[in-house]
Homo-oligomer: A and B are copies of this chain.
Amino acid sequence: MEYDAYIQTCPTRMVLDRLADKWAVLVLGRLDDKPVRFNQLKREIDGISQKVLSQVLKKLERDGLVSRAIFATVPVTVEYAITPLGRTLSATVDALRRWAEDNIETVLAAQQKYDRAAV
């Protein structure tokens, strides 16, 4: 099966592709505590551009992982929040986070050994 076909029939790949996104996990993590406004998010996630933040939020909203609330203040206020579904994903990502933290030393050691051998 070709990759394009595969990705559309494989839930895991869909989720991984979302998490793979350079910024999506950071956004989700940032929303975990409390709802945040667009520019606040942009300030807090250093280095992200307006365009990319906008794209990431749209994808997350489309997947039902993040919600978007508009308040008719002047000027307008938009708040992004994690959804219950997003929260369950966030919890699952924590398992991966734990693996990473538990094994980072081993991985780094393997890398150094590999690099030394390559010289």
Contact = CB atoms under 8 A, between A and B. Distances in A.
Interface of A: 1-3, 6, 11-17, 19-22, 25, 46-48, 61-65, 85, 88-89, 92-93, 95-97, 99-101, 103-104, 106-107, 109-111, 113-115
Contact of A89 (B62, B92, B101, B103): B103
Contacts of A21: 20
Main secondary structure of the interface of A (DSSP, over half): helix
Contact of A92 (B16, B99, B111): B99
Report how many copies the assembly holds: 2
A16 B3 CA distance: 20
Contacts of A88: 99, 103
A89 B113 CA distance: 20
Nearest to A13: B25
B106 A12 contact: no
Contacts of A61: 114
Contacts of A12: 25, 96-97, 100-101
Given A64-B110, A85-B106, A89-B103, 6 more contacts: A12-B96, A12-B101, A16-B20, A16-B25, A19-B20, A61-B114
